[in-house]
């Protein structure tokens, strides 16, 4: 339920209303809208008498929200959310270009790639320290050591870092990580989401392989309900019957999510198609569809990558994509 207040609401009335709601165990999430204040109510609002509230002088309008998600709902928070990450951001005017290898393999590798993607226009460095592998016999990642190397790369280049956490028990190691990633297979790891809700770090939440848009938003709601409002939604392809690509990039997710929610939306074209040579095309489609950023796997020697080599592109290819993104974005802004 949202209550839209008139401009300059009489303070005592407002205070009374807030106390009455809190007495019914309802949380109030106020947002400054463009012209007025919106009170987003979270809790059991079924017993709240709409007519009673509508009758108050300070109230412009009241509306029940059908969707099960509240905090992530654009009706609660009409303006786009912009998330600051060190000296860059995700969700505002700056298009987020997140790039780096699938996994951190060595100091030399990660620093080399970091420098190349930095030079090519990346705004954030990605790299896997803890890798979710379908097989227990596959390379599981360098773990804590991988995070240290990412921090070295950050020091060397100034790029903030994003990396995936696979379990609550690892969270201590993420103290200096700038953005924490929740992988597709952990999108409904509710315990992890609740814990990340207590953090104040930005969370990059990947859509599950077969998660509906609604489920993705509810997982974001878990994090926001814990108090952490810095959630970035990431579409990375969904599982379908088609086998020509590894997953099927759901390009409609961009306009659908941006209509339903105020959170920024980034696309991962690397995991979507799973094929390096399609990454440029899918990136252009994502930009044209209104994405706030992309996350691309870049490796200086894909054939020797310890994971996901076939979908990784080389630094010079990334440079081309980066320049094309800028060109395309300039045009997108000109469109009617």
99 vs 299: CA distance, rounded Å? 9
Indicate which single residue of 17, 254, 296, 307 sits in contact with a second copy (rule: CB under 8 A).
254
Q: State which residue, 42 or 113, has the beta carbon closest to a second copy.
A: 42
Candidates 83-91, 115-123, 186-194, 227-235; binding stretch for a second copy (CB under 8 A): 186-194
Asked whether position 244 contacts a second copy by CB under 8 A, the answer is: yes
Positions 106 through 135 that interact with a second copy (CB under 8 A):
132-135
Sequence-distant (6+) residues with CB within 8 A of 91 are: 80, 81, 82, 83, 232, 263, 264, 292
Positions 36 through 95 that interact with a second copy (CB under 8 A):
42-43, 68-69
Q: State which residue, 34 or 330, has the beta carbon closest to a second copy.
A: 330
In angstroms, what is the minimal distance from the CB of 287 to a second copy? Answer: 7
In angstroms, what is the minimal distance from the CB of 100 to a second copy? Answer: 21
Indicate which single residue of 10, 212, 304, 310 sits in contact with a second copy (rule: CB under 8 A).
212
Sheet (strand 37-42) strand order: 27-32, 37-42, 2-5, 59-63
Indicate which single residue of 104, 286, 296, 306 sits in contact with a second copy (rule: CB under 8 A).
286
Sequence-distant (6+) residues with CB within 8 A of 46 are: none
Indicate which single residue of 251, 266, 276, 306 sits in contact with a second copy (rule: CB under 8 A).
251
Output the CA–CA distances (angstroms, integers) from residue 148 to 77, 107, 122, 152, 288, in the order listed: 37, 9, 20, 6, 36
Indicate which single residue of 47, 49, 51, 137 sits in contact with a second copy (rule: CB under 8 A).
137
Indicate which single residue of 15, 22, 64, 185 sits in contact with a second copy (rule: CB under 8 A).
185
Indicate which single residue of 76, 95, 174, 222 sits in contact with a second copy (rule: CB under 8 A).
222
Output the CA–CA distances (angstroms, integers) from residue 323 to 284, 308, 326, in the order listed: 11, 24, 5
The tokens for 224 are 């926001």
What is the SS3 assignment for 303? helix
Indicate which single residue of 46, 47, 172, 335 sits in contact with a second copy (rule: CB under 8 A).
335
Instruction: Name residue 212's beta-bridge partners.
Output: none
In angstroms, what is the minimal distance from the CB of 237 to a second copy? Answer: 8
Indicate which single residue of 11, 25, 243, 303 sits in contact with a second copy (rule: CB under 8 A).
243
- The residue count for binding a second copy (CB under 8 A) is 76
313 vs 129: CA distance, rounded Å? 19
Q: State which residue, 12 or 241, has the beta carbon closest to a second copy.
A: 241
Biggest CA–CA distance in the chain, Å, is 68
Asked whether position 25 contacts a second copy by CB under 8 A, the answer is: no
Positions 295 through 324 that interact with a second copy (CB under 8 A):
320, 323-324
Q: State which residue, 104 or 166, has the beta carbon closest to a second copy.
A: 166
The tokens for 267 are 């696309």
Instruction: Name residue 165's beta-bridge partners.
Output: 182
Asked whether position 189 contacts a second copy by CB under 8 A, the answer is: yes
37 vs 59: CA distance, rounded Å? 10
Instruction: State the virtual CA torsion across 195, 223, 272, 281 in degrees, nearest 10.
Output: -130
In angstroms, what is the minimal distance from the CB of 116 to a second copy? Answer: 17
- Tell the residue number behind the tokens 């077969």, with chain if given: 210
Q: State which residue, 79 or 138, has the beta carbon closest to a second copy.
A: 138
What are the φ/ψ torsions at residue 27 (nearest 5 degrees)?
A: -85, 145
């Amino acid at each position: 339920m949202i209550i839209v207040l008139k401009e300059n609401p009489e303070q005592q009335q407002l205070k009374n209303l807030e106390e009455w709601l809190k007495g019914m165990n309802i949380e109030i999430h106020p947002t400054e809208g463009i012209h007025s204040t919106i009170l987003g109510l979270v809790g059991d609002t079924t017993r709240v008498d709409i007519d009673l509230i509508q009758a108050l002088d300070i109230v412009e309008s009241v509306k029940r929200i059908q969707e099960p998600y509240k905090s992530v709902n654009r009706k609660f928070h009409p303006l786009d959310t912009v998330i600051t990450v060190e000296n860059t951001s995700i969700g505002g005017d700056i298009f987020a270009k997140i790039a780096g290898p699938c996994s951190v393999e060595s100091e030399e590798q990660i620093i080399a790639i970091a420098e190349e993607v930095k030079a090519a226009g990346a705004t954030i460095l990605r790299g896997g320290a803890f890798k979710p592998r379908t097989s227990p016999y596959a390379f599981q990642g360098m773990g804590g050591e991988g995070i240290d190397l990412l921090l070295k790369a950050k020091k060397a280049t100034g790029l903030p870092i994003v990396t995936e956490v696979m379990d609550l028990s690892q969270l201590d190691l993420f103290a200096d990580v700038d953005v924490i990633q929740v992988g597709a297979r952990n999108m409904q790891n509710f315990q992890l989401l609740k814990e990340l809700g207590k953090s104040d770090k930005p969370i990059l939440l990947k859509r599950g392989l077969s998660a509906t848009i609604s489920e993705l938003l509810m997982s974001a709601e878990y994090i926001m309900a814990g108090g952490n409002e810095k959630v970035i939604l990431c579409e990375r392809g969904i599982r379908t019957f088609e086998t020509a690509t590894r997953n099927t990039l759901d390009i409609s997710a961009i306009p659908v999510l941006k209509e339903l929610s105020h959170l920024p939306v980034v696309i991962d074209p690397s995991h979507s198609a799973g094929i390096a040579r399609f990454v440029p095309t899918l990136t252009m489609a994502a930009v044209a569809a209104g994405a706030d950023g992309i996350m691309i796997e870049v490796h200086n020697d894909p054939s020797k990558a310890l994971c996901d080599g076939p979908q990784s592109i080389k630094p010079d290819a990334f440079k081309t994509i980066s320049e094309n993104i800028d060109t395309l974005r300039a045009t997108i802004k000109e469109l009617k």
